[in-house]
Amino acid sequence: MYLKKINGARIAHLPDGRRMTQGDLPPATTTRWVASRKAQVVRGVLYGLITQDEALCRYGLSEEEFLSWVAAVADHGEGALKATHLKRYIQP
């Protein structure tokens, strides 16, 4: 069996017992960002699967955009990443 050489961890163990691999991350060509894909990228960075800089480069995200995803998840959970629920979580 041949294992492709990659930088960083191959598997991240999530707090709920699930495992996340590099294959669980969205493809680099992703242009339509739904909440589940945003959450996968945030989880990948938070649990050490990829670095923040690598995620920004791979997905063409700005640092501000990515940090807003992280803040939304930290403050309100993954539901805050949905575009239809965004108005609920914006501070006036």
Span 56-87, pLDDT tens digits: 999 999 999 999 999 989 988 888 888 776 66
Could you count the other beta carbons within 10 Å of the beta carbon of residue 41? Answer: 24
What 3-state DSSP class applies to 2?
coil
pTM of the model: 0.82
91 or 63, which is more confident?
Answer: 63
Q: With cut-offs at 50, 70 and 90, classify the pLDDT of residue 92.
A: low
Could you count the other beta carbons within 10 Å of the beta carbon of residue 81? Answer: 22
**pLDDT value of position 61:** 95
Highest mean pLDDT among 5-9, 22-26, 81-85: 22-26
Q: Map out the domains of the chain with their CATH numbers.
A: 11-89 (1.10.10.10)
**What are 24's two structure tokens?**
């669980």
CA angle 72, 16, 18 (to 5 degrees): 105
pLDDT at 10 over 90: no
